[in-house]
Chains A and B, each alone.
Chain A
């Protein structure tokens, strides 16, 4: 369970989000909203990479502000447009994320094989296309034993064959480890691809169930 309390975020004095109280129970959520409505802001705040006013509590005990380490071990994140230092290899980033998130050895192998990334993962990320970078950032978000995985626009720049594979990972992760998800996407997420997906809408600077 993720609980937002007295949450607010402003840019240049303009309130983008103001959420008095909102709870995400365990499950998978599709965060919808128009461009500029504050979806990415919300997801970045939940991932603990953006300053905001208020607090976010995981499972009623880990605050993103006060128990940041424990919180971040349980909440993984993939950016909409991932950027990494060009000279690091994919393998180095995988190793870093797996150890930081306390994942078992070779945890990434399954993901790399299913997306066909093994051939280039040892290359510096500066040689990757935007789609390859996106796939890498998605694999990084699955490492460790996350309670929640937050994916900002996971489908953009992915090739058509990768989308069902990603959805299969989500279903598998939820079934095997009980992980919950927050996804934002402008592309329709059908019930066939992701069964049991609940929708929430970011609109007029607040959040509500559709």
Chain B
């Protein structure tokens, strides 16, 4: 009975989760998973095969035997689950999934829970594979308890997620009858360029927060790494580049927002030049905190140049989406390639030229593909 519901949920929720989080999962895989699977031993000639194994599996053994490692593994699982719950809850609020409220909820509760458990299991597949690996290695090194607590923990995360989604759908009518939307911003002016800022306030707060944290993180890391070069234009350029790339997810969301409201926005009598001006205003406001930070660090001339570079690269990242469309994988490849090219060029102190080149490329893409 639940097969058809499971099939639909896999298509509309699980597939969407992987499509939207390709970049995030790739980074997680590169940074965490690969080291977790096998830690390379630098000088293998001087160690026995047993030592080599123990060192190679060091991280995974830590995760199944030591309290700190276990806590980290459990924390990773919880963090991944919370991210998936946040995504699915947001997805269920979208208009195109409202049909689930008046269809799937007619099924008995256990059947709904069963279907959602399968879907949550699919969403948790990267985590499940990681834990399976930990269980195999744990067994190989005689940590027998891992067979008990890891499956129980995964089951708990899966069922908790499924229960949360089922409750969300079924409780629609029982929610408090309160005003939806941004009550605080009702009387504020809303020019077209600012619409995405209101969308961020309403629905993209977490993405915005993570983006700004990434900006702060890159500022701190680069300043710690190069303490003697605080006013060097190349360092400020690098900071601007990192902040701009950190905003690629918000640029992607802005593009999705424009696509969703295309019938409204494209029907407005604005030419490409006006659209370009609107984007400068939008991203100028969005990047204001980073721009001020760069200005404070580099002084008027260098700081302003870096802030201009930040804005122009972000505009280019946004304009790329006119060319690629809503294809996250293609987009991320282009962003990575662009980041590497701009990073190398920035080492030669070409910030001004790069800023001009980026804004020029953004304009060309906008004119060609908008």
Does B170 sit within 8 A of A, measured CB to CB?
Answer: yes
Asked whether, in the complex, the Cβ of A51 is within 8 Å of the Cβ of B5, the reply is no
Does A134 sit within 8 A of B, measured CB to CB?
Answer: no
Asked whether, in the complex, the Cβ of A100 is within 8 Å of the Cβ of B106, the reply is yes
> A68-B173, A79-B98 known; A100 and B104 CB under 8 Å?
yes
- Please measure, in the bound complex, the distance between the C-alpha atom of A72 and the C-alpha atom of B102, giving whole angstroms: 7
Between A9, A13, A77, A100, the greatest number of chain B beta carbons within 10 A of the residue's beta carbon is seen for A100
Give the distance to chain B from A125, nearest Cβ to Cβ, in Å. Answer: 9
Interface residues of A in 51-92 (CB under 8 A from B): 51-53, 64-65, 68-69, 72-73, 76-77, 79, 82-88, 92
Asked whether, in the complex, the Cβ of B98 is within 8 Å of the Cβ of A101, the reply is no
Between A69, A83, A86, A96, the greatest number of chain B beta carbons within 10 A of the residue's beta carbon is seen for A96
Which residue in A49, A52, A69, A77 is a CB contact (below 8 Å) of B177?
Answer: A52
Which residue in A9, A65, A88, A101 is a CB contact (below 8 Å) of B106?
Answer: A101
Asked whether, in the complex, the Cβ of B109 is within 8 Å of the Cβ of A49, the reply is no
- Please measure, in the bound complex, the distance between the C-alpha atom of A144 and the C-alpha atom of B172, giving whole angstroms: 22
Asked whether, in the complex, the Cβ of B4 is within 8 Å of the Cβ of A101, the reply is no
Asked whether, in the complex, the Cβ of A48 is within 8 Å of the Cβ of B8, the reply is no
- Please measure, in the bound complex, the distance between the C-alpha atom of A99 and the C-alpha atom of B98, giving whole angstroms: 17
Residues of B within 8 A of A140 (CB): 99, 103
Give the distance to chain B from A124, nearest Cβ to Cβ, in Å. Answer: 10
Give the distance to chain A from B172, nearest Cβ to Cβ, in Å. Answer: 6
Which residue in B11, B105, B172, B179 is a CB contact (below 8 Å) of A13?
Answer: B179
> A72-B102, A72-B106 known; A85 and B173 CB under 8 Å?
no
Main secondary structure of the interface of B (DSSP, over half): helix
> A10-B179, A12-B183 known; A100 and B99 CB under 8 Å?
no
Does A142 sit within 8 A of B, measured CB to CB?
Answer: no
Asked whether, in the complex, the Cβ of A95 is within 8 Å of the Cβ of B4, the reply is yes
Residues of B within 8 A of A49 (CB): 98, 101-102, 172-173
Asked whether, in the complex, the Cβ of A69 is within 8 Å of the Cβ of B176, the reply is no
Residues of B within 8 A of A88 (CB): 8, 11-12
* Interface size counted on chain A using CB atoms at 8 A: 42
Asked whether, in the complex, the Cβ of B8 is within 8 Å of the Cβ of A69, the reply is no
How big is the B interface, by class? Answer: 35 or more
Give the distance to chain B from A155, nearest Cβ to Cβ, in Å. Answer: 20
- Please measure, in the bound complex, the distance between the C-alpha atom of A77 and the C-alpha atom of B108, giving whole angstroms: 18
Residues of A within 8 A of B109 (CB): 69
Does A197 sit within 8 A of B, measured CB to CB?
Answer: no
Residues of A within 8 A of B2 (CB): 99
Residues of B within 8 A of A51 (CB): 172-177
Which residue in A13, A52, A73, A83 is a CB contact (below 8 Å) of B173?
Answer: A52
Does B205 sit within 8 A of A, measured CB to CB?
Answer: no
Between B95, B173, B179, the greatest number of chain A beta carbons within 10 A of the residue's beta carbon is seen for B173
Asked whether, in the complex, the Cβ of A99 is within 8 Å of the Cβ of B1, the reply is yes
- Please measure, in the bound complex, the distance between the C-alpha atom of A55 and the C-alpha atom of B313, giving whole angstroms: 54
Interface residues of B in 174-210 (CB under 8 A from A): 174-177, 179-181, 183, 186
Residues of B within 8 A of A9 (CB): 177
Residues of A within 8 A of B11 (CB): 85, 87-88, 92
Asked whether, in the complex, the Cβ of B103 is within 8 Å of the Cβ of A97, the reply is yes
Asked whether, in the complex, the Cβ of B4 is within 8 Å of the Cβ of A96, the reply is yes
Asked whether, in the complex, the Cβ of B106 is within 8 Å of the Cβ of A73, the reply is yes
Residues of B within 8 A of A13 (CB): 179
> A47-B102, A83-B96, A92-B4 known; A65 and B174 CB under 8 Å?
yes
Residues of B within 8 A of A48 (CB): 101-102, 105, 172-173
Give the distance to chain B from A138, nearest Cβ to Cβ, in Å. Answer: 13
Give the distance to chain A from B167, nearest Cβ to Cβ, in Å. Answer: 11
Asked whether, in the complex, the Cβ of A100 is within 8 Å of the Cβ of B5, the reply is yes
> A12-B183, A51-B177 known; A99 and B4 CB under 8 Å?
yes
Does A8 sit within 8 A of B, measured CB to CB?
Answer: yes
Whose C-beta in chain A lies nearest to the C-beta of B8?
A96
Give the distance to chain B from A11, nearest Cβ to Cβ, in Å. Answer: 6
Whose C-beta in chain B lies nearest to the C-beta of A45?
B173
Residues of B within 8 A of A84 (CB): 96, 99
State the B residues within 8 Å of A (CB): 1-5, 7-8, 11-12, 95-99, 101-109, 170, 172-177, 179-181, 183, 186
A-B contact pairs, 7 of them (CB 8 A): A82-B99, A83-B95, A85-B96, A87-B11, A88-B12, A92-B7, A99-B2
Given contacts A45-B173, A96-B8, A144-B106, 18 further A-B contacts (CB under 8 A): A10-B177, A11-B179, A12-B183, A12-B186, A49-B101, A68-B170, A69-B109, A77-B102, A85-B96, A85-B97, A88-B12, A93-B99, A95-B4, A96-B104, A97-B103, A99-B1, A99-B4, A100-B5
Closest 7 CB pairs of A and B: A51-B175, A95-B4, A72-B106, A73-B106, A12-B179, A100-B106, A96-B4
